[in-house]
A = this chain, B = another copy of it.
């Protein structure tokens, strides 16, 4: 093993600084999902990660840079958890369904303690122009585009009515999943995820063709018990 290969190997090894940087960002994403990206304070983050405020500034020149890095870190986490795995699923209706399921499960399992990182940050920043908002818009477009792409693949394979608008389908699926995640954070009722799954399945069902694989079974959501004589 000669000098250059050694150097090449070493270059790929994360330095200590890079390791703590990643550790900081993982904590920052968790914290920001609850407190928001503005609510995320340097002092609080430093304490949570077990170091001093000044130490953080060795890794990030400013709070804005920290915010942007945190978004990017969260994006990678969600990408690897939600979007990458569906690459293994056969393109078409199955992949579209897997993507929906993954996205719902991501909300259901509270990967970030404050729920969906991007839902919270987007809602916080959508009224404040700047690089953070721009990045969030980009990410949102990416998510919707991926859903639309999966729908289109299903159409091209003849597994979904070719008359349907893929973007419209993406809008509805993503919207229903997000609504479930959001309400879940307010009142802890997991039935809302059943509602989202059911709604999505019912939306797709009339679009199925003779080439379509069967949709997985989706249990009907629990109906609220209505006592006789109550309004």
Contacts and interface: CB of A to CB of B under 8 A. Distances in A.
Contacts of A182: 122-123, 126, 178
| Residue with the greatest number of chain B CB neighbours at <10 A, chosen from A120, A149, A186 | A186
Contact of A199 (B114, B123, B172, B221): B172
Contact of A123 (B38, B119, B168, B176): B119
Interface residues of A, number: 50
A126 B133 contact: no
Interface stretch (A12-20, A136-144, A208-216): A136-144
How many copies, total?
2
A77 B180 CA distance: 26
17 contacts: A34-B128, A38-B39, A113-B127, A114-B126, A115-B126, A120-B123, A120-B124, A123-B123, A123-B124, A127-B185, A137-B186, A167-B224, A168-B221, A171-B199, A175-B178, A175-B179, A178-B182
Interface of A: 33-36, 38-39, 113-115, 119-120, 122-124, 126-128, 133, 136-137, 140-141, 149, 165, 167-168, 171-172, 174-176, 178-180, 182-183, 185-187, 192, 195-196, 198-199, 203, 220-221, 223-224, 231
